[in-house]
Structure 1
Amino acid sequence: MTQDHPLNHDEMLAVLDWYRAAGVDIAVGEEPVDRFAQRAPARAVPAMVANVAAGTAVAERATEAPLLGGDPAEARSLAASAQTLDQLQALLDAYDGCGLKLRATQLVFADGNPEADIMLIGEAPGAEEDRQGKPFVGKSGQLLDRMLAAIGLDRTKVYIANTVPWRPPGNRTPTPEEMALCLPFLQRQVELVSPRIVMTLGGPAMQTIFDTTTGIIKMRGKWATLSIGSHQVEAIPTLHPAYLLRNAPAKEQAWADMLSLRMKLDALGLR
């Protein structure tokens, strides 16, 4: 067994980086602390309003509110006020209602072509996405690029977003509360892009968009006509590229889904 020894500077940084990746954000002190008895610090929640004429998002200070726990009604109101994707991104960047923002490095809004006929929706940003501010840029994103290329597509022909735009600590699955706070912004994003086709990537994204508790294995590859916000669209779920990296045999199923997407594009006269 290795004996304990003082860590040098590089080792301490490596440990802290490991803790951060695992979602650790509170250090344990010498004395126990009853955090249930503590009052949440107050903050002023910005009541954000889209200034359509100026094309910007203006944040105005409002009433005091608890630090944790946003209001879905506020999220819906803010999302509905955005008239462009730039406005929506600015509103999200200023929005403090979702606790995921507190631990994320930055907002991960979207990538690709906002005028594309195809929109891909994943679950949440990972570590590399959190660093770069773009969805699907890590190993799973590289696999996604190869999957798209196999049917004649690339990022100039698709628009990519996630169900939540901030990385959950330790890459955990977003909670239902976090999903509920972010969903109005995603729905407005879909309305503003107005894609002809939506492909969801992975179980959580599929369950959110298709509003179901059915597992991804049963749902993948099946087309449905969905209403996302006020936008009606043809949608198909497939497996997440990160899952395919861990389960190579499942690539056969994902390939069948990509071929189905290609056939749908051809049937609709899209390229």
Structure 2
Amino acid sequence: MTDKLYHECYTLVCQARRLLEELEELGFNPPAPLDTRQNRLIDTVAPAVMPPSVVGETLSDLRSEVELCCACPLHETRKTVVFGRGNPAANLVFVGEAPGHEEDQQGEPFVGEAGRLLERILFAMGLSADDVYICNLIKCRPPANRDPHANEVVACEPYLKRQLALLKPTIIVTLGRFAAQTLLGVQTPVSRLRGQWHSYEGVALMPTFHPAYLLRSPQEKKQVWEDMTKVKQRLGLVSVTPTD
């Protein structure tokens, strides 16, 4: 069995066991034989299928589960799990790629230099970090801030799917290549995805460049502002002047 398949099966078995335990606590009998139920859960790994909601699950419950996750090798090198921050009732959710060094130290996403740029973008939109919810596709920092490996995405994506199902946003903004391609189930470059509305589980999704990329390529800030202008219009926000 490959590492990718092993970690995928491990995550699915954990989800199935948790669901069955909660159903038993509520006095329900399993609705189908174990093999059938596992087949249903395996299907939820596909990019366009939302995983079944755990009965009575909250963001706090999910955070506690993620903090104990050992489904991929990143748990061996992380200092903290970086789950998310902001307003859980927000209409707008930003999804980045993975934590960096400062995020791993503090346990919150986008608190480094890229995070400060994101907050300036939010300010230009007439928003603050308390008005939105911010999270990442990968919840643990890859060593040396390298790109996430395929088995790490497979292990962590189900957590993001459940997180978004609990948040119920009206708009998702993906920051960077990995988040956009994973949620949309495509390999199209983010430069071609950005600027256009897409759909994720019926939710409007706008891909754009990652703030870390903008720090290296400030000339692309104009394109990101164009993307955020479309988000503002969809949210019904009053126009404001962008800041660098």
Shorter-normalised TM range: 0.7 to 0.9
Per-residue CA deviation, residues 148-175 of structure 1 (Å, 9 max, x unaligned), is 1001011111001100100001101111
Q: Within 5 A, what are the aligned runs for 1:39-54? A: 49=18
Distance 1:266 1:97 in 2: 41
Which of 139, 156, 161 is the aligned partner of 1:165?
Answer: 139
Counterpart of 1:255 in structure 2 is 225
When residues 176 and 79 of structure 1 are mapped into structure 2, their CA distance, relative to the original with a 3 A threshold, is farther
Counterpart of 2:204 in structure 1 is 234
Cα pair 1:79 1:88 within 8 Å, conserved: no
Deviation (angstroms), 1:250: 0.6
Show structure 2 runs of 5+ residues with no match: 1-10, 24-40, 46-50, 238-244
Report the AA paired with residue 87 of structure 2: N
Show structure 1 runs of 5+ residues with no match: 1-44, 54-71
Cα pair 1:144 1:241 within 8 Å, conserved: yes
Report the AA paired with residue 239 of structure 1: F
Distance 2:205 2:95 in 1: 10
Report the AA paired with residue 135 of structure 2: A
Larger Cα-atom Rg: 1
Cα pair 1:101 1:166 within 8 Å, conserved: yes
Cα pair 1:109 1:135 within 8 Å, conserved: yes
Per-residue CA deviation, residues 67-99 of structure 1 (Å, 9 max, x unaligned), is xxxxx95x97x9853711111111111121121
Distance 2:184 2:74 in 1: 23
Report the AA paired with residue 54 of structure 2: S
Which of 227, 234, 242 is the aligned partner of 1:264?
Answer: 234
**Where has structure 1 moved over 2 Å in runs of 4 or more?**
45-53, 78-82
When residues 175 and 79 of structure 1 are mapped into structure 2, their CA distance, relative to the original with a 3 A threshold, is farther
Which of 38, 46, 54 is the aligned partner of 1:81?
Answer: 54
1:135 aligns with 2:109: yes
Report the AA paired with residue 69 of structure 2: Y
1:122 aligns with 2:96: yes
- Count of aligned pairs: 201
Give the TM-score normalised by the residue count of structure 1: 0.69
1:245 aligns with 2:215: yes
Report the AA paired with residue 212 of structure 1: V
Deviation (angstroms), 1:52: 5.8
